[in-house]
Structure 1
Amino acid sequence: MLSIGSIVLGVSDVPRATAFWTRALGYVPRDEPEEHWVVLAPADGEGPCLSLGRSDVPPSPRPRVHLDLYAADAADQAAEVERLLGLGARRVDWDSYPDDPDFIVLADPDDNLFCVIDTSRG
C-alpha cells in the first residue's frame, strides 16, 4: 500500500521558504538543507513531509494542487491566519469564494497558494 511521504513545492528561494514553512508548521529539516533542496518533516515524526525545491517556474494563479491547513474552529482559523501573515504570508483576493466559506486563501512568500480551513463546520 502506498502512502504520501512528501508534498513538494517549487520555490524561488529555498532558505526563505524553509524559514517560513518551519515556523508555519513547526517542521524541521529532515537532513542538512542543500542550496536548492530541503525536506521538512514533522518534529514529532508523524505525518507527510514537505519538500522545497528550487524552481524557476512561476507559481500558477490557479494551482491544481495546493495545501489545506486545518484549524480547529473559526477562532483558531483567525488566529492562525494572523500568525501566518506575521510570518510573511499574504491574503489572496480569491474570486471563487462560495457564500460563507470555511476556508481562507493565502500565499506563502513564494506566492504558492494554500488554504486555512475551519474544520468545525464539517
Structure 2
Amino acid sequence: MDLHIGSVVVGADDVARAVRFWCAALGYRPRDEPQHDWAVLTCDEAGRPNVSIMLTEARPQPLPRLHLDLYATDQAAEVERLLGLGAVRVDWPRYPENPDFVVLADTEGNLFCVIDTTF
C-alpha cells in the first residue's frame, strides 16, 4: 500500500500570520508563494509531513478531536520559544497528574500539545 499522510491542514483566520507562526515554530518554509487563502509549508528533512494552512471561518474547537503533538527533548525551552512566537497557554481542564504535555494555542486559536519526550 502506498498511502501516507502528506499534509496536516490547519484552519486560520489570517493565513499569512499562521504561515509566519508555523514556519518559525517548526523551521518549515512555504513550498510555493502563499496565497491569501491557502499555503503549504514543507520541511527539507525527509519524512516530515507538510503543514497546510487553509483560510476558514470556522472557530477552533475548545476540545478538538484532532490536534498536533509536537515532540520536544527540552519541553520548557520549546514552550517558552513558542510563547515568544505568539502562542498562548491554554487552561486545559483535562490535565492528568504529572502530565508529559503542555497545551498551547497558536496565533489562530488552534490547540496543540508540546510533549516532553524525556519521560
> After TM superposition, is the score higher than 0.5?
yes
Provide TM-score, normalisation by structure 1: 0.94
Contact 1:17 1:109 in 2 (8 A): yes
- State which of 87, 90, 94 in structure 2 corresponds to 1:89: 87
Structure 1 residue 52 displacement after superposition? 0.2
Question: Counterpart of 1:10 in 2: which secondary structure?
Answer: strand
Aligned identity (percent) is 61
Which amino acid letter does the alignment assign opposite residue 117 of structure 1? I
Higher-helix-fraction structure = 1
| CA–CA separation in structure 2 for the residues paired with 1:82 and 1:43 | 25
Structure 1 residue 45 displacement after superposition? 4.5
In the alignment, which residue of structure 2 is the partner of 1:48?
A: 49
Deviations 1:63-93 (A, max 9, x none): 0000000012xxx100000000000000000
Question: Counterpart of 2:25 in 1: which secondary structure?
Answer: helix
Which amino acid letter does the alignment assign opposite residue 80 of structure 2? E
Task: Please identify, of 37-46 and 9-18, the stretch whose mean Cα deviation from structure 2 is larger.
Answer: 37-46
Provide TM-score, normalisation by structure 2: 0.96
- State which of 92, 96, 99 in structure 1 corresponds to 2:97: 99
| CA–CA separation in structure 2 for the residues paired with 1:95 and 1:47 | 31
In the alignment, which residue of structure 2 is the partner of 1:23?
A: 24
| CA–CA separation in structure 2 for the residues paired with 1:43 and 1:105 | 27
Structure 1 residue 109 displacement after superposition? 0.7
Unaligned runs of 5+ in 2: none
Structure 1 residue 21 displacement after superposition? 0.3
Structure 1 residue 31 displacement after superposition? 1.0
| CA–CA separation in structure 1 for the residues paired with 2:50 and 2:65 | 19
| CA–CA separation in structure 1 for the residues paired with 2:28 and 2:94 | 30
- The two structures, once aligned, show a CA RMSD in angstroms of 0.8
In the alignment, which residue of structure 1 is the partner of 2:40?
A: 39
